[in-house]
Amino acid sequence: MSATEKPKLAMYWASSCGGCEISVLGIGENILAVDEIFDLAFFPCIADFKVADVKGYPDGYIDLCLFNGAIRNSENEEMAHLLRRKSKVLVAFGSCAYEGCIPALSNLTSKQATLNTVFLDSPSLANPNGILPQPHFRVPEGELEIPVFYHTVKSLDQVVDVDYTIPGCPPEPHQIWAVLQVVVAALTQGAALPPKGSIVGAGDVAVCEECPLEKSEKTIARFYRPYEIKPQPGMCLLEQGLVCMGPATRNGCGALCPQVGMGCRGCYGPLPGVEDQGARMLAAIASVLDVNGSPGVDEHALDRRVQEAVDTIADPAGTFYRFSMAHSLLGRVRSDALEKQIEPVKAQHNGSKNGHQSASHRSRAKEAVA
């Protein structure tokens, strides 16, 4: 890069909601500094760039690429490999790219079950012929092609080599700007970058450490959903029976959610050295349950008390692995048997008279998904 040439910036949106792009705009007037320092090489959310443009760049042409979104389909994976090849520094930007986030919750079921739910069983759709998306479809004008929908959602680093990670859903603007400043200093002044593989734009302790809510050693007998109680201001939410992922989540967000009465959901990912965020949270949950045994207490009664408390946690898998499913020890549920159940249902459905799905077919599909 010549002395007069600006560094090249790219940002791409894979399987995600688009909040990460909006969070970049959240850096406020600093966006003008970004515009002054960088030339955009690829940012299809805000400018008319084409994939062909990226393919035409020399390898390593892009100085910094912020890649947000999980790898849900073949197009996501193709773009991940392309942008890795064209970028000097590739950043997993946000929770979806980092750990799979909400898209990876579909790893709790199967590809076919997901397609059935969306295109066959939803009560709000009109699909009388039971048509499911096909990667290739012949029409009079030619062949249409859409990406292949994958069975398993992956994080970016499970597909390509990643240089850095900025966690968050979405990352907080002040953290984004801090990271951009470090990168700009490296590109323009020769300053050192963090060690490769670093998680940047976040802290190294639990959210609880930066949360101002008062903590005690109170124990609880059950958990509540947010609409069921009005939390007492200034008190730890977990100790009031509201699930809060703060004990198992890396800080850096400013504990914004707990401060407004909403438990941390875990979007900044696990603490350093923790392999499974959900398992860490289970340990924290166990520490606040009011089920301590004492001499003479019947073990079966104690087990019932534990189970009764745990049963008040709605959707444990979706709660404890909301952001980290792809990176967790679980990864995904085994669904081979489920797929074997669903495929015959789909075949019978496709072969039914006039292409219409009968009530019995729909019922059996639902049973297979369940």
Is residue 77 a part of any domain in this protein?
A: yes
Give the torsion through C-alpha atoms of 244, 247, 252, 258, to 10 deg.
30
Domain interval for residue 21:
8-100+155-189
Q: Are residues 160 and 144 in the same domain?
A: no
DSSP, res 103: G
The answer as to whether 340 is a domain residue is no
Within a domain: residue 63? yes
Q: What is the pTM of this model?
A: 0.86
Compute the distance between CA of residue 245 and CA of residue 258 in angstroms, rounded to an integer.
10
Q: What is the mean pLDDT of the chain?
A: 88
Q: Domain for residue 292, yes or no? A: yes
Burial 189-200 (b: 16+ CB within 10 A, else e): eeeeeeeeeebb
Of 119-123, 157-161, 286-290, 344-348, give the lowest mean pLDDT range: 344-348
Give the pLDDT confidence of 311-323 residue by residue, as tens digits.
999 999 999 999 9
Same domain, 96 and 118: no
Pair (95, 181) in one structural domain = yes
Whether residue 358 lies inside any domain: the answer is no
pLDDT-wise least confident of 175-189, 203-217, 271-285: 175-189
- In a domain, residue 2? The reply is no
Question: Is residue 359 included in any domain, yes or no?
Answer: no
pLDDT tens for 297-313 read: 777 887 888 888 889 99
Task: Please report the beta strands in the chain, taking only residues with DSSP state E, as ranges in sequence order.
Answer: 8-13, 39-42, 62-68, 71-73, 87-93, 136-139, 142-145, 149-154, 164-166
Number of compact structural domains in the chain: 3
pLDDT band for position 339 (50/70/90)? low
pLDDT exceeding 70 applies to what percent of the chain? 88
366 pLDDT higher than 70: no
Contacts of 202 (CB under 8 A, 6+ apart): 166, 167, 168, 175, 250, 251, 252, 268, 269
For 185, the token pair is 């200093």
Are 145 and 60 found together in one domain? no
Q: What angle do CA 19, 20, 21 make, to 5 degrees?
A: 90
My answer on whether 69 and 135 are in the same domain is no
pLDDT at 370 over 50: no
Q: 71 - beta bridge partners? A: 154
Q: Flag whether 354 is in a domain.
A: no
pLDDT of residue 287: 85
Same domain, 238 and 303: yes
Same domain, 232 and 167: no
Confidence (pLDDT) at 292 = 66
In CATH, what number is assigned to the domain containing residue 176? 3.40.50.700
Flag whether pLDDT at 75 surpasses 60.
yes
CB-count burial class (<10 Å; 0-12, 13-18, 19+) for 61: middle
Does 162 share its domain with 251? Answer: no
User: What local confidence, expressed as pLDDT, does residue 335 receive?
Assistant: 59
pLDDT tens profile 178-209: 999 898 888 888 899 999 999 999 999 999 99
